[in-house]
Amino acid sequence: MTTLEKVRTKKALVGVIGLGYVGLPLVRAFARAGFRVLGFDVDPKKVKALNAGRSYIKHIPSSLIRELRRAGTFEATDDLGRLAEPDCILICVPTPLSPTREPDLTFVKRTAGAIADRLRPGQLIVLESTTYPGTTREVLQPILEKTGLKVGRDFYLAYSPEREDPGNPTYQMESIPKVVGAVEPKSLKVAVALYEQVAPRVVPVSSADAAEASKILENIYRAVNIALVNELKVLFDKMGLDIWEIIEAAKTKPFGYHAFYPGPGWGGHCIPIDPFYLAWKARQFGVTTHFIERAGEVNVSMTEFVAQRIAQALNQRRKPLKGSKVLVLGVAYKRDVDDIRESPALPLIERLQELGARVSYHDPHIPVFPSLREHPDLKMKSVKLTPAALRRQDAVVIVTDHSAYDWDWVAEHAPLIVDTRGATRSVTRGRKKIVKA
């Protein structure tokens, strides 16, 4: 049976490498569609948890993993020797930036090497990790072809970007169109057939490079628009205008405007990182990506803007920031997620500590800071949120507007609130204590 036939009859074994925020939703989608799925991860703790029916990602419930385990449709392993088993392999490993803010493809290259060690005829390899245009063709293909097997003749190679939006109840993998591009036509045909089994619509594009570029465009669009409203927030504030009121008014236009919201910076595993993959690649073509660089400057500058806002608000109350107790509410990178990676809370906490504040935090989704590669010294534990705990603070800073918070209750007890998210707009009592940042 050919790979195409196996895919069309759901007899293909689907391998997912990297069982994180992107890999697990893919496992769910393919297992629910009737495929058997073999998940790979180098972290033995994750493998053990999954095989025992436990999820470590909030929006993928353990009950689902247990159901898949019971049905025998999903197994996790840290044994990369089993990479010869799957007919289709989807790569969802991290693509971070190096300390000098250049693409760090270590995980992708290591994974490609592990696949190459066992590559067999008929396998379809798809990269899902976000990266610059050219990665699949220039980085993956040579590693895989070093085996002597040839793409299009012996195996298939494609790129299909993940569009997962963690915590978004409206859109999940199964309801989001899937863009697919490949390095040659046969690979495209097999990859399209595979994703047609799980996606509501598959959008084939002319090449793997085009698919990579489409994903990076989506993320740059967000990065730039977030920077735009952050910049305007500072200006409108000086003009005595409220950015939140203005955005609400602007978004009533039924066409040509899409609302983005300001905040304490930018965050998450994608928006502050992926645009710089393209900025790096652009330099090889002698082009400077001004919008990407400017978006980075503006969004990063929000840390200082918020820190100064807190200092000024305390100053108004005859208090220096140095020695003041500051409680940060919400440290996840966005509302209702349990992910702290690249959260704007992290540089803000570091800056406040540098300025001498005594910082604590509360987050219902982050009970304790995981170890963070870029912030090795930040080790904190969520405090208990009580009226007394709020009253004890000199300032309470809203960094992440989780829906679990009752803002009226916070405003009732906190002596001073610095709101970076427009979370307290509907609070009526105690407005004098609220400062926008």
Ligand X SMILES: NC(=O)c1ccc[n+]([C@@H]2O[C@H](COP(=O)([O-])OP(=O)(O)OC[C@H]3O[C@@H](n4cnc5c(N)ncnc54)[C@H](O)[C@@H]3O)[C@@H](O)[C@H]2O)c1
**C-alpha distances in angstroms, 398 versus 82, 131, 306, 415, 419?**
47, 32, 10, 13, 5
Is 124 in a helix, a strand, or coil?
A: strand
Which residue among 14, 60, 76, 92 contacts ligand X (CB under 6 A)? 92
Question: Site for ligand X (CB under 6 A): which residue of 22, 68, 190, 346?
Answer: 22
Residue from 30, 40, 260, 277 in contact with ligand X (CB under 6 A): 40
Which of 47, 188, 247, 270 binds ligand X (CB under 6 A)? It is: 270
Q: Nearest approach, Cβ of 78 to ligand X (angstroms)?
A: 8
88 is annotated as an active-site residue: no
C-alpha distance from residue 185 to each of 12, 152, 195, 205 (Å): 20, 8, 16, 11
- Which of these segments, 105-113, 118-126, 180-188, 378-386, binds ligand X (CB under 6 A)? 105-113
Sole window of 37-45, 177-185, 291-299, 415-423 interacting with ligand X (rule: CB under 6 A): 37-45
Residue with tokens 């990676």: 341
Which residues are registered as beta bridge partners of 157?
Answer: 125
Q: E-strand spans in 202-323? A: 202-204
> In angstroms, how far apart are the furthest CA atoms of the chain?
78
Residues in contact with 391: Cβ distance below 8 Å, sequence separation at least 6, in sequence order = 413, 414, 415
DSSP state of 432: G
Question: Quick check: 224 binds ligand X (CB under 6 A)?
Answer: no
Q: Which of 93, 144, 193, 395 binds ligand X (CB under 6 A)?
A: 93
Of 4, 136, 144, 164, the residue at the interface with ligand X (CB under 6 A) is: 164
Cα–Cα nearest to 331, from 287, 298, 364: 364
Calpha distance 407→163 (Å, rounded): 31
| The one-letter amino acid at 109 | K
Residue 97 sits at φ, ψ, to 5 deg, of -100, 150
Question: Exposed, middle or buried by CB within 10 Å (0-12, 13-18, 19+), for 81?
Answer: exposed
Q: Is 167 in the site for ligand X (CB under 6 A)?
A: no
DSSP state of 225: H
- What is the closest distance, in whole angstroms, from the C-beta atom of residue 252 to ligand X in the complex? 29
**Given candidates 269, 281, 334, 365, which one binds ligand X under the rule CB under 6 A?**
269
Give the nearest distance from C-beta 148 to ligand X in angstroms.
Answer: 23
Q: Which of residues 108-147 bind ligand X (CB under 6 A)?
A: 110-111, 129-130
Are 328 and 399 in contact by the 8 Å Cβ rule? The answer is yes
Asked if residue 35 binds ligand X (CB under 6 A), the reply is no
Give the torsion sign (CA, 224, 230, 234, 235): positive
Question: Quick one: 6 or 222, whose CB is closer to ligand X?
Answer: 222
Among 12, 14, 19, 346, binds ligand X (CB under 6 A): 19
Count residues contacting ligand X (CB under 6 A)? Answer: 26
Question: Taking CB positions, which residue lies at the least distance from ligand X?
Answer: 20
Segment contacting ligand X by CB under 6 A, of 14-22, 63-71, 231-239, 308-316 = 14-22
Smallest gap from Cβ 49 to ligand X, in A, equals 11
Confirm or reject binding of residue 282 to ligand X (CB under 6 A). Answer: no
Shortest Cβ 273–ligand X spacing (Å): 7
The residue annotated as part of the active site, out of 270, 357, 390, 416, is: 270
Q: Which CB, 299 or 324, lies closer to ligand X? A: 299
- Give the distance from CA 231 to its chain's centroid: 23
Q: Is 166 in the site for ligand X (CB under 6 A)?
A: yes
For 208-219, letters b (16+ CB in 10 Å) and e give bbebbbbbbebb
Task: Work out the angle at residue 428's Cα, subtended by the Cα atoms of residues 427 and 432, and round it to the nearest 5 degrees.
Answer: 95
Residues at the contact surface with ligand X, assessed by CB under 6 A: 17-23, 40-43, 46, 92-95, 107, 110-111, 129-130, 162, 164, 166, 269-270
Residues marked active site are found at 270
